[in-house]
Amino acid sequence: PYNMQFITASSAKEAITLLRKKEVDLVLMDHMMPEMDGVEATTLIREFEDEYFKKLPIIALSANAVSGARKMFLEAGFNDFIPKPIEHSTLDRVLKKWLPAELICPPVRTVMVGGRRKSDREGGTAASGRLISVNLGLNYTGGNEEAYLDILKDFIERLPEKSAYINKLYEEEEWKDYVIETHALKSASLSVGSRTLSDAAKEMEMAGRACDFDKISTGHSVFLKYCNDVYDEGVKYLALKGIKVGEPIKPVKDNLKLAPPIKAEELLKILTKAADACAGFDADAASKLCEEASRYSFGGTNLKDVFGKAAKLVNDYEYDQAGGIINDFIKGINSTGGES
């Protein structure tokens, strides 16, 4: 169901040999194997000189799911741990967390068109330019094209001002603010699908943190060129979608209207069930309950933002984070005696 290509190895030594010959995106490493176990193999892989082997996501698979197992594997150089027998929800969460974002695409829906099945990606939005990967950007909006175009348009409109300000900080040698601004642009660039600009911003950020002014001096002009090129590419892509930079995509919606209020005891029932669903890795139930809570207001505040975020985390298999939001809200209600 994952539409992935797998390379299998019958032993740790064979796995190491294969990894030296071919680059992969992620490794699922069994703990107990003959001759050499997964911990020994991972230790060797991390010691290889190439930076690729130090950053390669390696996930431990083990039936030894005792207390402290996860900590032991992380300290041994693994990125994550999946207990056996493997549960689909756990595998989904780990793959989504550790695979490169551009490789994770929204599910493809198919419909019947003219007697044949047609994918919703045929002739659709996803199209990658040289510097902007639309698929990567769509991944951050859950496949929502309208939301992605909103975010991309806002980013492109702000980019010239942002890059000019960063250049001003460079010329004035304001390195503390330079680091802050390149850090912010790093994240924003990735959210619209520009890994190239994100990496360039990260390089300048890291150089600033290390006070490596020679590296900043040689890399800053390249970074600015990426800013200009990403801007041009973004403007062209938006134009293909009928969107002109500087004009609103759609009328601003009224976000100030208060949703119907909900009583504390009713909200607690919904949230308690949602927290239990998160603890049980029941994505469908948890998501529906969070969405139900998001339709109301409590204490004069709409719940859409907080529980909309929780629902998104559930859909991303981040059950711990979603559960944390829900349980914190439950504690808040209880601490006020249920007053709204």
Q: Range of 301's domain? A: 264-335
CA distances from 221 to 120, 132, 200, 209 (A): 40, 20, 10, 18
Strand 58-62 and strand 297-298: the pairing is unpaired
The answer to whether position 112 is within a domain reads no
226 and 275 in a single domain? The answer is: no
The answer to whether position 120 is within a domain reads no
Integer Cα distance of 147 and 155 in angstroms? 12
148 and 235 in a single domain? The answer is: yes
Which stretch of DSSP H or E encloses residue 82? strand 80-83
142 and 177 in a single domain? The answer is: yes
- At which of 54, 83, 99 does a domain end? 99
The answer to whether position 222 is within a domain reads yes
**How many domains are contained in the chain?**
3
Integer Cα distance of 225 and 122 in angstroms? 33
In a structure prediction context, what are the per-residue pLDDT tens digits for the chain, which is 340 residues long?
Answer: 566 788 999 889 889 988 988 889 999 999 988 778 999 999 999 999 888 899 999 999 987 766 788 889 999 999 999 987 777 778 888 998 898 876 776 554 443 444 444 444 444 444 557 899 988 888 777 678 888 898 899 899 999 999 999 999 999 999 988 998 898 888 789 888 999 999 999 999 999 999 999 999 999 999 999 999 999 999 999 999 888 887 554 443 444 578 899 999 999 999 999 999 888 777 778 889 999 999 998 877 889 888 988 888 887 767 788 898 999 899 888 876 655 5
The answer to whether position 6 is within a domain reads no
The answer to whether position 158 is within a domain reads yes
Integer Cα distance of 234 and 193 in angstroms? 10
Q: Give the CATH number for residue 84.
A: 3.40.50.2300
- Whether 339 and 261 have beta carbons less than 8 Å apart is answered as no
224 and 274 in a single domain? The answer is: no
Residue 69 has a CB neighbour count (10 Å cut-off) of: 16
